[in-house]
Amino acid sequence: MKFNSLFSEVSLGPYTLKNRIVLPPLTRSRSSQPGNIPNDLMAEYYSQRSGAGFMVTEGTQIEPRGQGYAWTPGIHSKEQIEGWKKVTEAVHDANSVIFCQLWHVGRVSHVSLQPNEGLPVGPSDIQADNVKVFIETAPEVGALADPSQPRALSTSEVEDLVEMYRQAAVNAKAAGFDGVELHCANGYLVNQFISGHTNNRSDKYGGNLENRLRFLKEITEAVTQVMGADKVGVRFAPLFESTDEDRVYLGLVESDPHATYIAAIKILNDIGIAYLSLAEADWDNAPDLPDAFYQDVRQYFAGCIMYAGKYTPEKALRILTEGKGDIFGFGRPFIANPDLPERIKNDWSLNSVDPTSMYGGTGKGYTDYPQHTG
């Protein structure tokens, strides 16, 4: 079998994954309204894709201010917890492992999505550019808009957010998730604290790199106290070069991305988290990460390493064979191919993604992609 190595078992914390193929976090904006509540349709969607050895939910906001796109689910209300139970039960019935991705968009939001139409919050009052947010313009009708001007969080508000992350982990545990992943990538709140481009604070959460990594350290410690470190993952998007191409990818290019992210990874390794998820550049013809970075990630992180970002089975096999990564996320292919692991195993052709049904809507372009019948 061509991709036999991708179907070997691998350990992730206390779990033995049945293969190395991962359903990564993919925003689909299908939660029920009002309340951004996970529903039966979402349970069907995840259950269909439970041939994955490991699954991570779409970004799930930890509090109402954390929402940056219409109809994305939350994990901060009783109704949301009950909705997520449908998902975790369906996935567990299909013998897969699922983590909840805890998400806060920070400044990448719009006043129409904020409680009482307040300003989005962030480490500083620097407005996001070169990115759009998806807002509700009418029931079941959405449109892209520029992010609103944010306001800077006070020190005590940042400390309150650490507690919100801890509570979100409590809620995820109550919903039946096997663990949680902290979304620290793609220009969202945690990434905004890490980056010198978006953090000009002068308190303990700003200034030098150690201070800019403090929020990451504190929220990771908070959720590990709830879940156990071996049931926690962290996602980064270490972008080493920029492009002017229009894309969803929102990574922030640091002045020294290698030093920034290796410093962060050392902190996470000391905490003892189960895995590190690294989202590579996903535009056409994007280069691999620098080889020195791959090598240092492996050297300084003892847990499971996941890579994603326009991965093909061929690239996953190469990175695995070279010893750089352990598990691999396949985003767009998993959207259109609910039976993706079987298709990879048997070298079957893949369905194409319908770009018109990516965000919002019904089961069309969500749960109606056909499985292989040949």
* Residues carrying an active site annotation: 188
Residue 32 has phi, psi (to 5 degrees) of -80, 145
Choose among 175, 156, 140: nearest CA to 62: 175
Tell me, what amino acid is at 99? Answer: F
Which residues neighbour 315 within 8 Å (Cβ) at sequence distance 6 or greater? none
Between CA 48 and CA 46 the distance in angstroms is 5
CA angle 193, 198, 202 (to 5 degrees): 70
At CB < 8 A and 24+ separation, what contacts does 127-132 make?
Answer: 128/187, 131/187, 131/250
Place of tokens 């299909």: 94
Between CA 81 and CA 91 the distance in angstroms is 15
Between CA 181 and CA 260 the distance in angstroms is 20
Which residues neighbour 206 within 8 Å (Cβ) at sequence distance 6 or greater? 123, 124, 193, 199, 200, 212
As given in the structure block, the two tokens for residue 22 are 């991962």
Tell me, what amino acid is at 267? Answer: I
Between CA 168 and CA 77 the distance in angstroms is 9
Question: Is 122 strand, coil or helix?
Answer: strand
Answer yes or no: are the C-beta atoms of 236 and 261 closer than 8 Å.
Answer: yes
In the chain the beta strands, taken as DSSP E runs, fall at 10-12, 15-17, 21-23, 54-56, 60-61, 98-103, 121-122, 133-138, 141-145, 151-152, 179-183, 232-236, 275-279, 304-308, 327-329
